[in-house]
Chains A and B, each alone.
Chain A
Amino acid sequence: MMTSRQHLTTNPSSIKTRFAYLFLRNLKRLNKYRPTSSSSRAVYQRYGMIKFAADASMASAVGSRRAWSRATLLKIRNRALNCTFLKRRRIHALRRRRAERKSRNPRQECAFGQANELRRLVPGGEVMDICNLLDETAHYIKCLNTQVQVMRNIVDFYSS
């Protein structure tokens, strides 16, 4: 009894547990803004929030150990700062996108053809060299797998 509970309580060091915990807590918070209307717009908003929550919880579960999680956390922080001002956020996003385009290194682009695509996919991959990018990609894939598993569990449970 005790041993099993201790085992379970020592388990939280795993990313999976932490993500599940964080994501569920975020979901619970989101439930406060439960959609009164089932309109597509409301559902879409809710989808965006849930997705954001999933990303945020994943990034915070990983922590700042990884470059991609750091990038995600930074993005979240920026978004949280600009969350209240929707208009300003859009402008900011536009500016950021332009800045990203400018900051992209031409030398890195010619290294691998597909690497750029991977850079777009992995958060914070724009500024990485190919070696780190692959490293981060490996970890990111792991985390995405975990995320998908946990979210699938949750969806399956709730849709019951």
Chain B
Amino acid sequence: MEKENMFVNERNTLTPTWSSSNFGMEIQTNELNCTSDQLTNHFFNPNWDNTVDQNDPFESALSSMVSSPVTSNASGDGIVLRELIGRLGSICNSGEISPPSYFAGNNSTNTSCYSTPLNSPPKLNLSMMDHQIGGNLQIPGNQFPNHPSLTPFCSDPGFVERAARFSCFGSRNFGVPSGQIGLNESEFPHKLMNSSNLSRLSRNQSFKVTASPMGAQENREGLLDGKISASDDKFSVFSRSSTPKNGELGDSREESSVSEQIPGGEIGSKTQNDASSRKRKSIPREKPKEISSSSAKNAKAGAENDESNSKRNKPEEGNGNEKEAEKSKADDNGTEKQSKDNQKPAEPPKDYIHVRARRGQATDSHSLAERVRREKISERMKFLQDLVPGCNKVTGKAVMLDEIINYVQSLQRQVEFLSMKLSTVNTRMDFNMEALLSKESHGSLPHSTDQFDSSSQALPYALQSHQGSNLHCAIPNGSENPFSLNPLNSTMHRNPGMQLPPINCFGEPTSQASTFWEDDLQSLVQMGFGQNQSNNLQGTTAITRMKVEL
């Protein structure tokens, strides 16, 4: 986060100044440099175009991959850089693969090569360096104009580390005067200065550009300039065709940078990693060759150089050797590291992807609330499904609601029916309830033995209240209720059938009341329960009795 903050700050501070003040200046200097260095001039002018057009496929790819969270470039920059330091081997390879592809004239392949590695700036950086090393030594005269500008990168051993640690890499480059750094670098940031995210891109582009001239120079050794120029022309065509995209992408980035979503940035980095890993997978086949070739180049360079070049190249070689050592490590551990690196970003994005998917659906609070509400409703519906019998097999909320409505209606009708029955029944309501109610009014429910003993009339009420209070007691009586699906029902039905003596069947299932009843009011309960059984469990008990009698 600190890095990111730093980066953001630097972005905020640096970008406006660069974009405003240096924009015209840099181009002029570039032009001046180009005029002074004639050899490079040929390369640079088309290369600018190349950079432009190579940016475009890259950006288009990025835009497709990282559509919404383009700010990822800013935040994911450090991650990507860090990641890629360890994978220098593949980087160099990618850089070296490019020249033959140039050579073949497959612009599409070239662009694909470049566009994908653009995700990982250091790659290009290193490839550029290698190219430079090789190219400088072989054609010193041509390279010299390029050299001063590019050497800062090569000679700086901690450069890559710094780049990795500080995402202000790009800004640092920009902070250096334009004369030292590659002309392309100085130029492009100004063009694309919309956001500091682009600084990275510009870096990449500059590297690309530098790398491409190197490749071009290498090619030149064996080939004519005309071919190269033709290839360059092709690139320039590309660049022109794709330039409009730049502006759009810059805009989108600005928008995304306004939003500044870090998770999105991680996602973006992940996607970038994926892309790079995809690319890397294709690369390793050619690794060994290129390592050998690069080492050979380096050795050659060491032998052929002038003193000044050797001075320069010694550290460079040292760097190169170190890098090669890293390379070999990377080659050895390449797959592991890749897997690790891929896993590292891959873990958090799972959640973020989840969030992102949701975000795609609905970002505003209304739809979020709506989703929460829907979840709540479905939860309640599930609960109701358990409550309402015959609702388990039903699918669909509307049908379920119908079922619920029917059930509620039936229950209400049942209550009405029962109350009607109560009203019509010529009940023995004349039992003495005053005593009970007087005690009830004190807060104690009529479960004391005194009430039972007091009057025989009180018994039915007490029994009734018991049945009301005691679920086990109530269930057998509720056996007629078609809606009570309690499995206890069946057991209770069986019990009276199996054991006809009512006291047993009453006592056993209701163990709570059994002691109570058996202790005090065995006979009375027998009576009461006999009544109950005979009256209540009409159908079922009749059947069971029939069975027992049989």
Q: List residues of chain A with CB under 8 Å of any chain B CB.
A: 1, 4-5, 7-9, 11-12, 14, 16-17, 19-21, 24-25, 27-28, 31, 34, 43-44, 46-47, 49-51, 53-55, 112-115, 117-118, 121-122, 130-131, 134-135, 137-138, 140-142, 144-145, 147-160
At the interface, yes or no: B499 with Cβ under 8 Å from chain A? no
30 residue pairs bridging A and B, Cβ less than 8 Å apart: A5-B447, A8-B445, A8-B447, A8-B512, A9-B444, A16-B474, A24-B468, A51-B415, A54-B418, A114-B398, A114-B401, A114-B402, A140-B408, A141-B388, A144-B411, A149-B474, A149-B481, A150-B467, A151-B422, A152-B478, A153-B477, A153-B478, A154-B464, A154-B468, A156-B535, A157-B531, A157-B532, A157-B535, A158-B429, A159-B427
A154 to B464: give the CA distance in the assembly, Å. Answer: 7
Once A4-B513, A157-B460 are accepted as A-B contacts, the answer to whether A25 and B412 lie under 8 Å apart by CB is: no
A38 to B430: give the CA distance in the assembly, Å. Answer: 17
Q: Which residue of B lies closest to A51 (CB)?
A: B419
Which B residues lie within 8 Å of A54 (CB)?
A: 415, 418-419
At the interface, yes or no: B113 with Cβ under 8 Å from chain A? no
Once A1-B515, A8-B469, A50-B423 are accepted as A-B contacts, the answer to whether A138 and B380 lie under 8 Å apart by CB is: yes
Once A14-B469, A17-B445, A118-B404 are accepted as A-B contacts, the answer to whether A137 and B536 lie under 8 Å apart by CB is: no
Which A residues lie within 8 Å of B241 (CB)?
A: none
**Residue pair A148, B481 in contact (C-beta under 8 Å):** yes
At the interface, yes or no: B437 with Cβ under 8 Å from chain A? yes
A12 to B440: give the CA distance in the assembly, Å. Answer: 12
At the interface, yes or no: B359 with Cβ under 8 Å from chain A? no
Which A residues lie within 8 Å of B380 (CB)?
A: 131, 134-135, 138
**Residue pair A9, B447 in contact (C-beta under 8 Å):** yes
**Residue pair B427, A131 in contact (C-beta under 8 Å):** no
Which B residues lie within 8 Å of A11 (CB)?
A: 469-470
Q: Which residue of B lies closest to A148 (CB)?
A: B414
A6 to B403: give the CA distance in the assembly, Å. Answer: 40
Q: Which residue of B lies closest to A155 (CB)?
A: B421
> Looking at the complex, which one of B383, B397, B427, B483 makes contact with A158 (CB distance below 8 Å)?
B427
B430-461 interface bits toward A, Cβ cutoff 8 Å, 1 = contact, 0 = none: 10010001001000111110000000000011
Once A7-B512, A152-B481 are accepted as A-B contacts, the answer to whether A147 and B463 lie under 8 Å apart by CB is: no
A130 to B373: give the CA distance in the assembly, Å. Answer: 9
Once A134-B377, A145-B483 are accepted as A-B contacts, the answer to whether A156 and B477 lie under 8 Å apart by CB is: yes
> Looking at the complex, which one of A16, A44, A141 makes contact with B471 (CB distance below 8 Å)?
A16
Once A138-B384, A141-B411 are accepted as A-B contacts, the answer to whether A20 and B465 lie under 8 Å apart by CB is: yes
Which A residues lie within 8 Å of B419 (CB)?
A: 47, 50-51, 53-54, 151
Which A residues lie within 8 Å of B447 (CB)?
A: 5, 8-9
**Residue pair A151, B398 in contact (C-beta under 8 Å):** no
Which A residues lie within 8 Å of B418 (CB)?
A: 54, 148, 151-152, 154-155
**Residue pair A131, B373 in contact (C-beta under 8 Å):** yes
**Residue pair B420, A47 in contact (C-beta under 8 Å):** yes
Once A11-B470, A114-B401, A121-B409 are accepted as A-B contacts, the answer to whether A156 and B532 lie under 8 Å apart by CB is: yes
A117 to B444: give the CA distance in the assembly, Å. Answer: 41
A156 to B539: give the CA distance in the assembly, Å. Answer: 13
Given contacts A24-B464, A149-B484, 19 further A-B contacts (CB under 8 A): A5-B447, A9-B447, A17-B445, A21-B469, A24-B468, A47-B419, A47-B423, A114-B402, A114-B405, A118-B401, A118-B408, A121-B405, A131-B373, A131-B376, A144-B411, A152-B477, A154-B422, A155-B418, A159-B535
- Which among A43, A138, A149 has the highest number of chain B CB atoms within 10 Å? A149
Once A16-B471, A144-B411 are accepted as A-B contacts, the answer to whether A27 and B519 lie under 8 Å apart by CB is: no
At the interface, yes or no: B230 with Cβ under 8 Å from chain A? no
> Looking at the complex, which one of A5, A34, A149 makes contact with B516 (CB distance below 8 Å)?
A5
Which B residues lie within 8 Å of A9 (CB)?
A: 444-445, 447
A130 to B484: give the CA distance in the assembly, Å. Answer: 27
Chain A: minimal CB distance from B528 (Å) = 9
Q: Which residue of A lies closest to B402 (CB)?
A: A114
Once A25-B440, A51-B419, A118-B401 are accepted as A-B contacts, the answer to whether A157 and B463 lie under 8 Å apart by CB is: yes
> Looking at the complex, which one of A20, A55, A158, A160 makes contact with B469 (CB distance below 8 Å)?
A20
Which A residues lie within 8 Å of B519 (CB)?
A: 1
Residues from 511 to 548 in B contacting A, C-beta threshold 8 Å:
512-513, 515-516, 519, 531-532, 534-536
Q: Which residue of A lies closest to B528 (CB)?
A: A157
Which A residues lie within 8 Å of B402 (CB)?
A: 114
B167-207 interface bits toward A, Cβ cutoff 8 Å, 1 = contact, 0 = none: 00000000000000000000000000000000000000000
Which A residues lie within 8 Å of B484 (CB)?
A: 145, 149
